[in-house]
Amino acid sequence: MPASASAATTAGNAVRWPRLDSIAYGGDYTPEQWPEEIWAEDVRLMREAGVNLVTVGVFSWALLEPSEGTFDFGWLDRVIGLLHDGGIQVDLATPTAAPPAWFLRAYPQARPVTAEGHVLGGASRQSYCPSSPAYARASARIAEQLATRYGQHPALTLWHVHNEYGCHVPACYCDQSARAFRDWLRERYGSLGDLNAAWGTAFWGQRYGTWDEIDVPRRAPTTVNPALRLDFMRFSSDAFLDCFTRERDILHRLSSGIPVTTNFMASSCKNIDYWRWAREVDVVSNDHYLVAEQAANHIDLAMAADLTRSLAAGAPWLLMEHSTGAVNWQRRNIAKRPGEMRRNSLAHLARGADGILFYQWRASRSGAEKFHSAMLPHGGTASRIWREVVQLGRDLSALGELRASWVAAGAALVWDWESYWAVELEGHPAEFSYKERISAFYRQLWRGGVTCDFVHPEGDLSGYRVVLVPSLYLTTPRAAANLGEYVASGGTLVVSYFSGIVDASDTVHPGSYPGPLGSLLGVTVEEFLPLRAGEQVRLRSAGVVGPGLADASADASADASADNWADAWAEMVHLAGAETILSYADGPAAGAPAVTRHSFGSGQAWYISTRLAEDLLGRVLSAACADAGLAVRADGGVEVVLRRGDDHTFITVINHQDRTAELPVTGVDLLTGTRYGTRLEVPAGEVRVLRQDSGS
């Protein structure tokens, strides 16, 4: 398995995969919502569908502990027994994402508080402060009870702590959180002098004379100190992590040998630093839901899968939740079309998942998610969704050979949650969307058929031909040195605008922009020149690279339909060793370099100082890939992903087009047994998974 750049690798974390002899298949099972006579039918239908793993007990705290210190496990005993007798293994959850009504009544100070000072109520989920001592005691107690009772049960194959940490309540602003925040700051800075220096408290006279003067960033008359806010985001992520590790340690102690996970929301949760969290789980698992109205949302799915695999350091990971059809919480909950659920599932599998689970097994009849799709819909087994669920079970059974193989990636995208937090704070030259830049770059790689990993800016980059940095506003000296060493050793780097600007305390680096990245990129930036809404600038090619970029625009009078334009942002760039690839033909930076390339050591460092039109960004990235000898293919409607094993290579081909696709791919299709000797035909909307001998 290739080395990964994720923090999980540097921590030496070993994956402890659940005891399963096939690809995991199943979903979130809530028998407590149904009469007991239905449970046996559930198990029978699970077997019919090929289900081998279900998650149980996620939101059952009020049933397991109906009053404080009083426990009722009889119903759960019977459920787990039925599943075990049916040959279905259990991912047992600690139910701590939904404290019972008795807890909130007995400990009102444990309720979460917003930045505006509003105390949030119950009758929902995530109704707790992560720094509450009462919540810590109660969550540890229920985890210990479950581990003591079921820790060695033969059906138990995985522990599932909590559910979607940080969902709905990204941070708590109560007095308990303020005290915990001050303790966290003492640990981080050691002295008030160092804290005042890091936070720049000389600005607006914010200097602190005692620790007790420091508060959480509650709603204030105007902008709250951005360094304080950034540290509070770090603290809040760590506060939730403390909740997880507290329960995890109990489970490890009382249920030796059973791996522990919690479900991430890797690409959709801004407020949790999953690089730090990935070091603490035994198995990385993720929840992913399509944005139903988004065009080409299968690309967002691929990005989420690649990010999750990267958090797992290239090891197998578990898709803990996705949907068979529509969800119930988006603006328009569009149903998945026939075959879409299969394509979604097999795309996750292609990108490294060794388990495909859904929310949920049986569609609920009441509650907030009664219109959320399920493996067994309200319409039962006469439905299209049920037929597709059964077929998917057969498909996954046929694809068992893919287990423990790894995904081959030649490129990497830098992703850093701390920079994500910092760049979206107030007070910048323009508003920035971190995800927008990441997604724009990822789309071009996907459409060019380039599989990529995600990496931390201080992680190992040595295995990649190309590393892309769509946004790295917060750049530490260690990250800058790491990127420089990568390029000097022969790598190709592409950095986008407003990167290299501040350090870990949101303090502007001394000297010219882009700070510690300037010598690597061979440029200085004199001034940021944001553009008005709707304003575009035209770009002119310097003609120093291949025809793909030379054709971008020959002169300033070219029509905008030629995609030779950019918008949103421009910079006054000066060359300091780099060469111009594209220059500004008009606008506030007319005549200045817009895209540059710099030879640095044995490698190349590209800089993009503006938001390029999508087609032009694709051509620039293709030129950078050509620098690195990385092939880019033209057909962006067909997804091709390789997983490699010791003896075989597995090629998944997913046709997202409305017409048949032909590719020069050979091998045996594991789904049909068909052997393709010259060319592969994939009908519209279909999937093929081919096995090749490693030497072929």
- The residues carrying an active-site annotation are 164, 321
* CA–CA gap between residue 50 and residue 361 (Å, rounded): 12
* CA–CA gap between residue 497 and residue 542 (Å, rounded): 20
Q: Which residues contact 86 (CB under 8 A, 6 or more apart)?
A: 43, 44, 46, 47
Cα 384 from chain centroid? 30
Q: Which residues contact 274 (CB under 8 A, 6 or more apart)?
A: 264, 266, 311, 417
* CA–CA gap between residue 483 and residue 368 (Å, rounded): 46
* CA–CA gap between residue 593 and residue 24 (Å, rounded): 52
* CA–CA gap between residue 600 and residue 417 (Å, rounded): 28
Q: Which residues contact 635 (CB under 8 A, 6 or more apart)?
A: 449, 661
For residue 236, the surrounding DSSP H or E stretch is: helix 226-254
Q: From the CB of residue 170, how many other CB atoms can be counted at a distance below 10 Å?
A: 17
Q: Which two tokens stand for residue 603?
A: 């490698």
* CA–CA gap between residue 117 and residue 124 (Å, rounded): 19
Q: Which two tokens stand for residue 129?
A: 């402060």
* CA–CA gap between residue 495 and residue 437 (Å, rounded): 11
Asked if the bond preceding 360 is cis, omega within 30° of 0, the reply is yes
The CA R_g of the chain, rounded to the nearest whole Å, is 26
**Structural contact between residues 306 and 317, judged by C-beta atoms closer than 8 angstroms:** no
**Structural contact between residues 267 and 303, judged by C-beta atoms closer than 8 angstroms:** yes
**Structural contact between residues 174 and 278, judged by C-beta atoms closer than 8 angstroms:** no
| 290, 641, 654, 672 from 687: Cα distances, Å | 19, 12, 5, 11
β-pairing verdict for 611-612 and 661-663: unpaired
3-state SS assignment for residue 583: strand
For residue 323, the surrounding DSSP H or E stretch is: none
- Picking from 10, 2, 53, the residue whose alpha carbon sits closest to that of residue 259 is 53
Q: Which residues pair with 159 in a beta bridge?
A: 92, 260
* CA–CA gap between residue 674 and residue 528 (Å, rounded): 57
* CA–CA gap between residue 44 and residue 66 (Å, rounded): 30
Q: Which residues contact 43 (CB under 8 A, 6 or more apart)?
A: 82, 83, 85, 86, 88
β-pairing verdict for 260-261 and 156-161: parallel
Sheet holding 24-29, edge to edge: 260-261, 156-161, 89-94, 53-56, 24-29, 353-358, 317-321, 285-287, 263-264
Phi then psi dihedrals of residue 605, to 5 deg: -125, 115
Query: If 0-12 CB within 10 Å is exposed, 13-18 middle and 19+ buried, where does residue 668 land?
Result: middle
3-state SS assignment for residue 624: helix
